[in-house]
Amino acid sequence: MPVERTSLFAGAGARLEAAAEIAAVSGDTLERLRLPQSVLKVSVPVRMDDGSLRTFPGYRVRYDDTLGPTKGGVRYHPSVNADEVQALAFWMTFKCAALDLPFGGAKGGIAVDVKELSLAEKERLTRSYVSRIADFIGPDVDIPAPDVYTDAMVMGWMLDEYSKIARGFTPAVVTGKPVPLGGSLGRDTATADGAFYALGTIGRGAREDPRDGEGPTAAIQGFGNAGARLAELLAGAGYRVVAASDSTRAVHDPGGLDVAALREAKDSDGELPASAGEELDPEELITMDVDLLVPAALEDAITEENAGEIRAGTILEVANGPTAVPADAVLEEAGVRVIPDILANAGGVTVSYFEWAQNRAGLRWSAEEVRDRLRARMTGESARVAELAAEHDVTLRTAAYALALGRISAANDALGTAKAFGA
Ligand code: NAD
């Protein structure tokens, strides 16, 4: 019987079908992946600074644990809902498998506008959420990490709260922690670093020769943790970052923005300074005439409506799900190369894996060791995805899903259950 799927999650599932055509995948595996393994919805009560009590909806979805304990971030955002968390958990399943990590996929979130909370309220919110989901997570079960509007400090609170409940210091229960609490060196920059390695391995698409000989150009939507760091790496590699945006505004300078100054202003004021360049309609950033477009904010930045107007040669998907499914075909038709989210932004979960491994082994790796391992993993798997895409003449997205699906299927089939019934 068909399962009713809606919006984001429906889109997530649609991409599996294309991948299943070229991957060696069993029917059992596809059947298992139709639905999330478990979905938890909780109320998160918080005592506010003024003495009142407020309750926020919280979620944790474990999508599939065929390859290992499930792994995925926790998002604090007003638009968080069950469908979004489910789609994000689905993407995490394929991201971990595409990078050959020993993890399944999960995601969590709270529907809350943290900009309205004090730091103490945010801490109480986090501890309340952990106490609600404590039976659902654990170093061998499900391991949260940061996502939009959660950071290392939030992970430190989660570790502390979980350790109290578990009656023992349990650093491997979350990743992306502060380094003094068992976090890994290199985790804070891992997502952007990984995206940069993926871009370096796969290369830019059709427009290998920038038009005016002044270096390639880039536009960054979402100048946050990942977007700002990537902008710095691109600028260091000779790109002109001509446009950037955050939730307050978009700025544009054809001569190239001063990325370091932008980052400093964003860190101190929490928003991009209007004085950085000409103000730009944030929608226009997506369709600018640049070599590289980097969506690094939220889902569905590129839709069926604006995809046809995109002039960038390559899209590097740092955000999760920035391209709506119907836009895939429009971009493919137009020859725009898309380095897909499950590969492009997998550096974060890869270094999260390194952090978890260090915690469990009681080791601390140097920044160089982390960087070398990340580079090797990202370049190796990016090259594999590119090869698969060329071999089957499919998009990089379909190839990344196929690589992941093949790995999940091999693990599933290794249990031999279908064979026992002669299937
Ligand atoms: P962040 O909160 O640090 O940054 C998000 C930025 O996007 C903020 O600057 C915000 O102002 C901006 N933004 C929000 N709405 C916008 C809009 N409509 N237009 C333009 N900008 C907008 O979050 P982050 O950690 O950098 O994550 C960004 C994206 O990358 C998310 O999709 C996240 O899931 C994905 N991602 C992050 C990591 C990680 O390790 N940080 C790992 C994998 C994927």
226 lines ligand 1 (CB under 6 A): yes
pLDDT tens-digit series, residues 300-350: 899 999 999 999 999 999 998 999 999 999 999 999 999 999 999 999 999
pLDDT at 5: 44
- Cα 410 to ligand 1 centre (Å): 33
345: Cβ contacts below 8 Å, ≥ 6 apart: 95, 191, 194, 195, 226, 317, 318, 319, 320
For residue 162, how far is the Cα from the chain centroid?
24
Q: What is the pLDDT of residues 195-230, one digit of tens each?
A: 999 999 998 754 455 555 678 999 999 999 899 999
- In one letter, which amino acid is 422? G
Residue 23 is predicted with a pLDDT of 87
Band of pLDDT at residue 299, cut at 50, 70 and 90: confident
pLDDT in tens, 144-183: 999 989 999 999 999 999 999 999 999 999 999 999 999 9
**Residue to substitute in 225, 245, 283 for testing ligand 1 pocket (most ligand atoms within 8 angstroms of CB):** 225
Tell me the pLDDT tens digit for each residue of 44-99: 999 999 999 999 999 999 999 999 999 999 999 999 999 999 999 999 999 999 99
Q: Which of 16, 27, 155 is nearest to 93 (CA)?
A: 16
Q: Which amino acid is at 416?
A: G
**25-34, 101-110, 255-264, 295-304: the lowest-pLDDT one:** 25-34
Average pLDDT, the chain: 93
Q: What is the pLDDT of residue 25?
A: 86
**In whole angstroms, what is the distance from residue 148 CA to residue 56 CA?**
17
Is 296 strand, coil or helix?
coil
Question: Among 298, 300, 323, which residue has the most ligand 1 atoms within 8 Å of its CB, making it the best to mutate?
Answer: 298
Instruction: Name the residue with tokens 């986090």.
Output: 126
Largest CA distance in the chain: 69
pLDDT higher than threshold 50 for residue 31 = yes
Q: 91: Cβ below 6 Å to ligand 1?
A: no
- pTM of structure: 0.93
Q: Check pLDDT > 90 for residue 373.
A: yes
* CA distance linking residue 244 with residue 150, whole number of Å: 22
At residue 372, the pLDDT reads 98
3-state secondary structure of 302: strand
Active site residue 107: yes
Structure tokens at 379: 């370049």
